[in-house]
Structure 1
Amino acid sequence: MAIDEKDIGEVAKELKGAFEDFKKSNDKELESIKAEKNKLEEKTNQLNEKLGEIDKLKADLEKEIKEFKRPGGTKGTEVSAHKKAFGQMLRKGIEDGLGDLQQKAIQVAVDGDGGYAAPEDLDTTLLELLRDESPMREVCGSIVIGASGYKKLVNIGGAGSGWVGETDARPATGTPTIAQLTAFMGEIYSNPQATQQSLDDIHFDVEGWLAGEVSREFAEKEGSAFLLGDGVNKPKGILAYARAVTADKTRAFGTLQNLKSGIAGGFTGDNIIDLIYSLKKGYRKNAVFMMNTLSLAKVRKLKDSEGNYLWQPGLQLDQPSTLLAHGIAENEDMPDVAADANAIMFGDFKRGYAIVDRFGTRVLRDPYTNKPNVGFYTTKRVGGMLLDSNAIKVLTLSL
């Protein structure tokens, strides 16, 4: 049968119509998929955020339980007298005999710049509150000193022994290399204000109020310094120390190892696994991750090759949520996920970094500067130092 141009035109017309129908149907399908994907993505993000809130609520409740169970300290006669006199100074500005009581109670003289040392139980309570407020204080080591600074000697290697036969000579061995670590110290201050009327109220817990106000201010400033501080009149933070990609055997002492994710501004589950096993076995037992909330939200979506989620919620009391069986310290001072960001750390922070507190928080009562309010100029010396550069690893989101 002959085929003319009319037949071809009709087929072409039918083909065009079918293609138009296909495009409409396909576009509708794609739009539906996109809408459903957006809907699911929004729901996932909402659930992820809710999951983070519930996880934080559980951790906060566990802290409250520990706080409730914390035993009170014993008070000797001199300590009690000092505490009472200190309370009078806070409320009324009465300083009679406080300097002498202070020296007897805690062997600390009146500061030449003015102010008095807080009673021991208030000072230790302040440190406890700081520990609860600051993620760095929760996971890092802590040293309390009485002097203005702190130094530590460490053995970083060198042959100090050898193998010999029963009758062989004992040749001299190499001398171990000793390094001196020095804490970077600084003075931190806060100046909370209260009205004289509130101080006159016998039901107002002035010491508890002072500890709470100061701990919040100190925790924010300290936390940032312990992580990012440059060491100038403040602690030197972990991420301020030198970093290199070389392994422990060849990297210089005092230099942290950073692993590259291979993705500018991103990371994978394999990066997390590599980060864990870059740490020697002896450190991994007590190692935890450190990242901010946004990084943690991304981590919760990661799966292994079998489809299992790497992040698992802690469902029992005192059982924290984990990432590949290791705890997670949320720290909002950690860098956000971005190109070249040091977004995730992993390590035994107690062995790797020490927070150094000089015992003796000082308080200067100031009823004049901001009348009718009374200011409490509160200061303490605090520092930080990297102890073991092999104990902490850094994941850098770069090629």
Structure 2
Amino acid sequence: MTATARDRRRGSHCVTVGWNWPNEKSMEVIPMFEIRKMLEDRANLIHEARSILEKAEGEVRDLSQEEQNRWEALWGEVEALTSRIERAQRVEEAESRLAQSMDAAIRPDPGDNGDGDRALPEFQSRALHEMGADLDLSTLGRLIQPEYRTAFAAWLRRRPGERLPSAEARALQADQDIYGGYLYAPLQFVDRLIKAVDDQVFIRQWATVMAVTDGEALGAPSLDNDPADPTWTSELSIGSEDSTMSFGRRELNPHPLAKYIKISRKLLRKAPSVEGLVIQRLGYKFSVTAENAYLNGSGAGQPLGVFVASNDGIPTSRDVSADNTTTAITFDGLINAKYALKGQYWPRARWLMHRDTVKMAAKLKDSNGQYLWRESVRVGEPDRMLGFPVFMSEYAPNTFTASQYVGILGDFSFYWIADSLQMEMQRLDELFAATNQVGYVGRLESDGMPVLSEAFVRVQLAAS
């Protein structure tokens, strides 16, 4: 980036944009006192479930069928309340941010030197806010122009066969891909979509997220091996030469991710914001796909997941299975996993597991009869296990057979994600005409991978 462009960017006005919650269903705003009441109800259900276990343990017997059924029913209610509490807390956070960001607008840059390039504003999502790449302002600058945004919104809303006004058509003709039926989405649109995905996917909230242009690769050096310990020596000696330290390279190449959505023409006519509607739908669809990839992706044409053994990400040397059985985790097995993670990563470490694994862990006690899993009773605080927050994902593995992964503990800031700033949109007018719907195809490019294996520990079941 040139000095002039950098100075213009520093002098630009900060722009924040509104966004929509990316779930498929409209989200109700639940009052804070109701969230607290749900936390209390959940705590009571957990207490009742634990009482059933403790009664059987005190009588040195297994659960009867009636007790097992009751425990399963209680835990089902706990899981349902947990999901509702998490959704309510996310909506509460979203409403708070929305109040701060709604109705903000781009202002002319006083540092514009008249050459047609406008400095890029600071965006709200971390992916775009932390842009450090050498941005091509001549290519991306037009994607923040108010004229382009207005024309793009009109293109989303127009009826089949309807021609855009000449001014809006000219604004879109600046897009080199329009001849193929695609348009680049305005950067504000991409920002809102990425932020919608951020707020839906745990790992994106914790990871280091960066932006690149034109789908170019993002490379970073990595320290593969630390230097050996220094040796005591005399005042005039420089010690022995180190031969153990080595550097590697991690490279992220944003891969294309495509999805189409269908919206009824009636809804398009009545929706106050077509952009918001498209973002809401695409945000949800992209988020569930991204979360699955960040956990289970193969790394071939998609992100590399944390539950995939790979020398490019987290190798098998970071797997801990000692003291677990072939079908279940144990207290000692989780302790082994905790202490396989260096202390420097503990302040930001988190457990990530499937709800079936959490349900299994909720039954475990230490030698003093204290449960390992501690439910949260405060709004905004996650449940904890062995001192670390516990988060659940439906895409975490839950196959309880020999040698399978069933959880991970780690500092997810060492999972890196690279998002391309350019997103393509295509409108399909005729394909779904029979059902009175319009299709929108979104193409977004992203990649992700763990960049420091020692920051993670995978919980594995014992081999057979």
The TM-score, its normalising length taken from structure 1, stands at 0.79
Residue 9 of structure 2 corresponds to which residue in structure 1? none
| Residue number in structure 1 paired with 2:79 | 52
Q: Per-residue deviation at 1:35?
A: 11
What's 1:183 paired with?
A: 252
Give yes or no for contact 2:313–2:451 (8 Å, CA) kept in 1: no
- Residues 109-165 of structure 1 deviation map (CA, whole Å, 9 limit, x = unaligned): 546744222223321221121122223323333222224222111232364996765
Counterpart-to-counterpart distance in 2, 1:264 and 1:213 = 41
| Counterpart check, 1:43 vs 2:70 | yes
Q: Which residue matches 1:86?
A: 152
**Is 1:225 matched up with 2:290?**
no
Structure 1: give runs of 5+ residues left out of the alignment: 1-32, 244-251
- Give the structure 2 partner of residue 130 of structure 1: 197
8 Å contact 1:102–1:117 — kept in the other structure? no
1:293 aligned residue (328, 332, 355): 355
1:338 aligned counterpart, secondary structure: coil
Separation in 2 of the partners of 1:95 and 1:241?
Answer: 54
**Secondary structure class of the residue paired with 2:449:** strand
Q: What is the CA–CA distance in structure 2 between the aligned matches of 1:350 and 1:167, rounded to whole Å? A: 42
C-alpha deviations, 1:62-115, integer Å up to 9, x for none? 2111111113254235643322211101001738556875799xxx85467442
Could you tell which deviates more after superposition, 122-131 or 338-347? 122-131
By how many angstroms is 1:46 displaced? 1.6
Say yes or no: does 1:363 pair with 2:425: yes
Number of residues paired by the alignment? Answer: 354
Matched ranges for 1:295-310 at <5 A: 295-310=357-372
Aligned match of 2:106: 75
SS of residue matched to 2:345 = helix
Identity percentage of aligned residues: 18
The one-letter amino acid of 1:389's match is S
Higher Cα radius of gyration = 1
Tell me what 1:387 maps to: 451
Cα separation, 2, equivalents of 1:81 and 1:145: 24
Report the Cα offset of residue 277 of structure 1: 0.8
Q: Which residue, out of 375, 385, 388, partners 1:313?
A: 375
Q: 1:374 corresponds to which letter in structure 2?
A: V
Q: Given residue 250 of structure 2, which amino acid in structure 1 is its aligned partner? A: L
How much has 1:382 moved relative to structure 2?
0.8
> Matches of 2:292 and 2:189 in 1, distance apart?
24
Question: Residue 255 of structure 1: which of 315, 319, 322 is its match?
Answer: 315
- Determine helix, strand or coil for the equivalent of 2:64: helix
Deviation track 1:176-224 (CA, whole Å, cap 9, x = no partner) reads 42211112532111111123333233x4421111111111211222222
Whether contact under 8 Å (1:184, 1:385) holds in the other structure is: no
Q: Note closer, same or farther for the CA distance 1:59–1:263 as it changes in structure 2 (3 Å cut).
A: same
Which residue does the alignment assign to 1:334?
A: 396
**Among 273, 286, 303, the residue aligned to 2:335:** 273
- What amino acid does structure 2 have at the position aligned with 1:398? A
Q: Distance in 2 between matches of 1:323 and 1:74?
A: 44
Distance 1:99 1:390 in 2: 53
